[in-house]
């Protein structure tokens, strides 16, 4: 087996069915967080929704109720550890327990590393990485008290690979993956294997994320194709709650990128840099902006309006995949020849 699931036995699932489970979701006011909330509500789960934009959060909660689930909106800034502890306590007070926790809140600042202001870089780290730290710390005691549960971190395929102009985001997502691996080890060696730590690795997703990003590139931002709907990630998270795994890709392109990166990292780093430099910017000019890094602006929208890019540049995408796949085959052939020569 290849990929993130290699050599890993599935962890413990939820101790109760989804239609009776309580799930906390951060970053729930739009995009992947909202799509996940809706997917769980359709299955009858109780969802506790956290984000900075209160109005959008209540709109998502209302839609969850329409879909058949119970929902509570708890405005929360995940960079405040005390606020995250209060979020966990509120969830337990409302529904009696916490069965699963999804760390999903994220922001980004796009631009060359030496042009991203230090205060923005620090804030991206605070939201993405420290927000996941605080969420994990708040969740573990409640998951343990419930007899076990599942914690899912949304880390992005950029936890495994990297792309230019995303230094802060890349760094935090790599950090989230390392954090999850360490906490998983510690739970296992301390006899708390009833708590599963899972990492989801999505590729480009059609959400408002790129529209809300801080932008210091001078150019319009667009997600590199192929772009997948947020429901792809939401359904991956639902599967992880039912059958936990160490890691899971969301979107076929993510799996392909991960495989290529492991087989030929130096070459794929160069090819991916070339590809994303040409596809994460549109033709328009953009003024310098801090986006939503400091100021919440969610509108309860799942989609970012990028669905047209699911087919756009398909030839370039296919060419990239074929080139990297060919390189991977060449790499394996070279390794085989070397091994035979050394016998």
Enzyme catalytic residues: 169
150: tokens are 């599942």
Burial of 266 (0-12, 13-18, 19+ CB in 10 A): exposed
Contacts of 315 (CB under 8 A, 6+ apart): none
Burial annotation 51-82 (CB, 10 A radius, 16+ → b, else e): bbbeebbbbbbebbeebebbbbbbbbebbeee
Question: Using the 8-state DSSP alphabet, how is residue 309 labeled?
Answer: G
- Closest among 3, 78, 21, 67 to 237, alpha carbons compared: 21
- Go through 277-308 and write b for each residue having 16 or more CB atoms within 10 A of its CB, e for each that does not: eebbbeeeeeeeebbbbeebebebbbbbebee
Residue 103 · residue 136 · CB < 8 Å: yes
Question: If we measure between CA atoms, which residue out of 174, 181, 219, 222 comes closest to residue 198?
Answer: 181
What are the start-end ranges of the E strands in 120-202?
149-154, 195-202
* Sign, Cα dihedral of 25, 29, 32, 37: positive
In sign, the C-alpha dihedral spanning 316, 215, 267, 8 is negative
Closest C-alpha among 91, 109, 108 to residue 100: 91
Is there a contact between 78 and 33 (Cβ–Cβ < 8 Å)?
A: no
Find, among 68, 1, 75, 82, the residue nearest to 37 by Cα.
68
Helix (H, G, I), strand (E, B) or coil at 139: helix
């Amino acid at each position: 087996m290849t990929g993130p699931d290699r050599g890993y036995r599935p962890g413990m699932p939820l101790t109760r069915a989804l239609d009776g489970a309580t799930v906390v979701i951060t970053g729930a006011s739009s995009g992947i967080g909202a799509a996940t909330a809706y997917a769980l509500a359709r299955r009858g789960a109780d969802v506790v929704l956290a984000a900075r934009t209160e109005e959008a959060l209540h709109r998502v909660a209302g839609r969850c109720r329409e879909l058949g689930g119970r929902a509570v909106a708890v405005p929360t800034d995940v960079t405040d550890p005390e606020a995250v502890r209060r979020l966990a306590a509120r969830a337990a007070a409302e529904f009696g327990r916490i069965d699963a926790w999804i760390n999903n809140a994220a922001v980004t600042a796009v631009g060359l590393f030496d042009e991203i202001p230090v205060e923005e870089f620090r804030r991206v780290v605070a939201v993405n990485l420290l927000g996941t730290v605080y969420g994990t710390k708040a969740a573990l005691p409640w998951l343990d008290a419930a007899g076990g549960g599942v914690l899912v971190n949304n880390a992005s395929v950029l936890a495994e690979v990297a792309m230019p102009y995303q230094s802060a985001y890349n760094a935090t997502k790599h950090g989230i993956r390392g954090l999850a691996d360490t906490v998983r080890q510690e739970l296992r060696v301390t006899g708390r294997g009833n708590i599963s730590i899972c990492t989801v690795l999505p590729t480009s997703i059609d959400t408002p994320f790129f529209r809300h990003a801080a932008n210091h590139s001078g150019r319009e931002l667009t997600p590199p194709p192929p772009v997948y709907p947020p429901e792809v990630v939401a359904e991956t998270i639902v599967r992880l709650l039912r059958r936990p795994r160490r890691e899971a890709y969301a979107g076929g392109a993510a799996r392909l990128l991960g495989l290529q990166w492991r087989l030929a990292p130096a070459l794929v780093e160069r090819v991916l840099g070339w590809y994303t430099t040409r596809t994460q910017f549109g033709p328009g000019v953009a003024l310098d902006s801090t986006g939503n890094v400091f100021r919440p602006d969610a509108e309860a929208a799942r989609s970012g309006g990028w669905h047209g890019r699911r087919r756009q540049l398909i030839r370039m995408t296919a060419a990239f995949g074929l080139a990297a796949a060919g390189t991977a085959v060449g790499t394996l052939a070279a390794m085989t020849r070397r091994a035979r020569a050394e016998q």
